[in-house]
Amino acid sequence: MAEDLDISSDFTEPPSEAGARDLRAELDEKKRQLEESGRKLEEAERLAEERLDRLLRSAAELDNVMKIAARERENSAKNASEKLVCKLLPVLDSLDQASKHDEGMRVLHQQLLGILAGEGLAPIESVGKKFDPSRHEALFQVKREDLEEGTVAEEIQKGYLFGPMVIRFSKVAVARR
C-alpha cells in the first residue's frame, strides 16, 4: 500500500534555512502578539469586573440612602404630629370637662377629637376593662362589689395612643373587693 502513494510531487525541495528562520521569527512574533493581546484582554476584563462591582455597590448604596431618607422623612412627620398632639392634650382635657356642661362645647370637643384622630390619636378605653399597666396608671383603689377585682372602675384622666404607642397613660381607679 505504501508503494501506491506518490508524495514526491507535493514537496519538490525543502525550505531554505533562512526561510525557516524567517518563518520561525514570524511565528514567534505572532505568538508574542497573541500573548500580549491575551494579557490586554485579561486586563480589560478585570477592569470591567471592577467597574461593574463599583457600579453595583454604588447603586446599592444609593438605594440604602434613599430608604434611610424616606424613613427619616416619615419619622420627622410622625414626630411633628406627635408634638402637636401632645401640646393639644391639655386643651382636649379642658374641653372634655367643659363638654359635660354645654352642648356647644361637646360639639367642639368632638371636632377636635376628629382632627386629632386624623393625625393618629386614639383614646384608650379604660372603664370596665382589666387594668393594664402598659396603658393605665393606677392612682388609687376603690371598693366595688359589682366589678371584678383588678377592673378599671373610674377614669380620672383619659389616656391616649398615638398610632400603636401610648403617649399618655389613663389615670384610673382600680376596683377591689
Share of the chain above pLDDT 90, in %: 51
Q: Say if strands 121-123 and 160-162 run parallel, antiparallel, or are unpaired.
A: antiparallel
Distances (CA, A) of 125 to 131, 170, 172, 177: 11, 9, 11, 22
pLDDT at residue 6, as a whole number: 53
pTM for the predicted model, two decimal places: 0.51
pLDDT at residue 60, as a whole number: 92
pLDDT at residue 107, as a whole number: 79
pLDDT at residue 11, as a whole number: 53
Q: Provide the β-strand partners of residue 162.
A: 121, 165
Q: What is the pLDDT of residues 102-134, one digit of tens each?
A: 777 777 888 888 888 988 999 999 999 999 999
pLDDT at residue 149, as a whole number: 95
- CA torsion 80→83→88→92, rounded to 10°? 110
Q: Name the pLDDT band for 87 (thresholds 50, 70, 90).
A: confident
Domains in the chain: ranges and CATH: 121-177 (2.30.22.10)
Cβ(127)–Cβ(156) under 8 Å?
no
Is residue 3's pLDDT more than 60? no
Is residue 167's pLDDT more than 90? yes
pLDDT at residue 80, as a whole number: 81
Question: Across residues 61-67, what is the average pLDDT?
Answer: 90
